[in-house]
């Protein structure tokens, strides 16, 4: 039963799933694993748990490397998938389309969080700059004077999510 009244994408029915073997079976498995991992990372980011999402990077990098390697092997041995309209190709295309949609959703969340973070850093920097600006006033002889030198303030965020 779906949570939060969200409809989950339908998985291909067992009758629709071709019997994959070799590199194509490996590619199907990796595609599903990557899709699930990226969806989990996206949910963690939506829940404002970046440290937990960060823990998934090692596994995601490993899966992406295996995925790339398997794609390369399948390109060399493309005949294993049959003709252009074969059930194997259609099934892999469905899995790949689902992965692409998950990646697009992930990118939207990451870009939204990035713009929020940059806005916060910019506003904090502007506020610090205002508070540290020199006070200009008149001195004893009615001449303009500035207070002593202002200590420089820097603000940086050096964390990758």
> For 100-151, how does the pLDDT look when each residue is reduced to its tens digit (9 = 90+)?
999 999 999 999 988 888 888 888 888 877 777 666 676 677 777 666 555 6
Structure tokens at 104: 């697009």
- pTM to 2 decimals? 0.66
pLDDT greater at residue 22 or residue 113: 113
CA distances from 142 to 14, 18, 64, 68, 139 (A): 89, 90, 70, 73, 5
Which residue in this structure is represented by tokens 């790339």? 68
Domain segments of the chain as ranges: 22-127
CA distances from 108 to 35, 97, 105, 130, 161 (A): 15, 17, 5, 33, 14
Q: Give me the helix-helix angle, 87-131 and 22-46, nearest 10°.
A: 30
Which residue in this structure is represented by tokens 């074969």? 86
Q: pLDDT tens, 35-90?
A: 999 999 999 999 988 889 889 999 999 999 999 998 888 887 777 677 777 787 88
pLDDT grade, residue 160 (50/70/90)?
A: low
């Amino acid at each position: 039963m779906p949570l939060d009244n969200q409809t989950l994408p339908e998985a291909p029915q067992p009758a629709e799933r071709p019997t994959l073997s070799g590199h194509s079976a490996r590619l199907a498995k990796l595609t599903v694993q990557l899709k699930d991992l990226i969806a989990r990372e996206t949910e963690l980011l939506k829940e404002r748990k970046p440290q937990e999402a960060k823990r998934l990077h090692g596994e995601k990098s490993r899966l992406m490397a295996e995925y790339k390697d398997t794609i390369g092997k399948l390109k060399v041995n493309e005949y294993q998938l049959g003709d252009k309209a074969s059930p194997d190709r259609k099934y892999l295309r469905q899995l790949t389309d689902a992965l692409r949609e998950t990646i697009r959703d992930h990118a939207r969340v990451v870009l939204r969080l990035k713009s929020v973070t940059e806005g916060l850093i910019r506003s904090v920097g502007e506020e610090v700059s205002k508070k540290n600006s020199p006070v200009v006033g008149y001195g004893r002889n009615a001449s303009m004077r500035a207070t002593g030198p202002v200590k420089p303030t820097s603000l940086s965020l050096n964390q990758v999510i």
